Structure 1
């Protein structure tokens, strides 16, 4: 084998780092009592602009809180962290899900069409009777495998 052919063969075997990219969108099929419903939710992946904007917003909030803590420390004042209620935590988690949710397939609620909108998603996820939806969505967006490209089958 000539050096040129050997170099060409090696070049083809070199790992392409773009294979590690996550996908921009992924669908989650909603399960109710462990059974598929056919209702799908589409979420923004880690590199999607909507996810990046949400991450930037969260980082700015965290940095602002750290700045206040540092100012209190420098000025010799005690820092008293805000008390988060259960409803605050639920609202924060709902915000994480709604911030990544791009849409859902058609669905009805009480016999009426229930189209996707961020407001409808928030209302749905804040309903304590539908807690399994919030938990399923949080688990989905928290699982890196949800946004891993599937290998093509031959």
Structure 2
């Protein structure tokens, strides 16, 4: 019996998303390099979130074991938005520097990305990023998205 080679389906380390202008047709020229699911930056973020979830679960179980009510923490809409932006920023490795009007170019760093993506004026950018990250095809070798309705992307292994 012949062995089946699954290496073509292993996610790439990185993939590039070209941000499209609102409406999804015109290129902005802004390219963002994202870390694939097995990239060390993504693994570190996921492990931190898992530790946080395990801590919360231990608190719930401890309260139940001691016949106490567990009072979940109050979360605001802004808290959830910040968590979502942090998740996206944890996937970004680099981007083409961008400018906002006459200001200086903004090179990628986590803080600059967090600040930019929290700005409601750039919700259209955040939306494209989330769509890209959550589409398993974005990080699969040889299956870059090519639809007119979706952001263009190229994948590569580093």
TM-score range, shorter chain: 0.7 to 0.9
SS class of match (2:31): strand
* CA shift for structure 1 position 110: 1.8
Distance in 2 (CA, whole Å) between partners of 1:75 and 1:87 is 33
SS in 1 for 2:111: helix
- Deviation of 1:106 after TM superposition, in Å, equals 2.4
Q: Which has the higher contact order (CA 8 A, sep 6+)?
A: 2
Which residue is 2:129 aligned to?
137
**What corresponds to 2:5 in structure 1?**
16
Q: Secondary structure at the match of 1:46?
A: coil
2:50 is the alignment partner of 1:62: no
CA distance in 2, matches of 1:58, 1:83: 18
Unaligned runs of 5+ in 2: 144-158
User: Is the radius of gyration larger for structure 1 or structure 2?
Assistant: 1
Taking the TM superposition and a 5 Å limit, the aligned residue runs for 1:3-152 are 11=2, 14-33=3-22, 34=24, 35-111=26-102, 112-150=104-142
Which 4+ residue blocks in structure 1 deviate beyond 3 angstroms?
none
Which is helix-richer, 1 or 2?
Answer: 1
| 130-139 or 119-128, larger mean C-alpha shift | 130-139
SS in 1 for 2:75: coil
Give aligned pairs, total.
140
Tell me the C-alpha RMSD between the 2 structures.
Answer: 1.3
Q: Deviations over 1:23-74 (max 9, x none)?
A: 0000011112122211110100011111111111111010000000000000
Query: SS at 1:76's partner residue?
Result: coil
- Normalized against structure 1, the TM-score is what? 0.86
Unpaired segments ≥5 residues, structure 1:
1-9
Q: What is the TM-score normalised by the length of structure 2?
A: 0.84
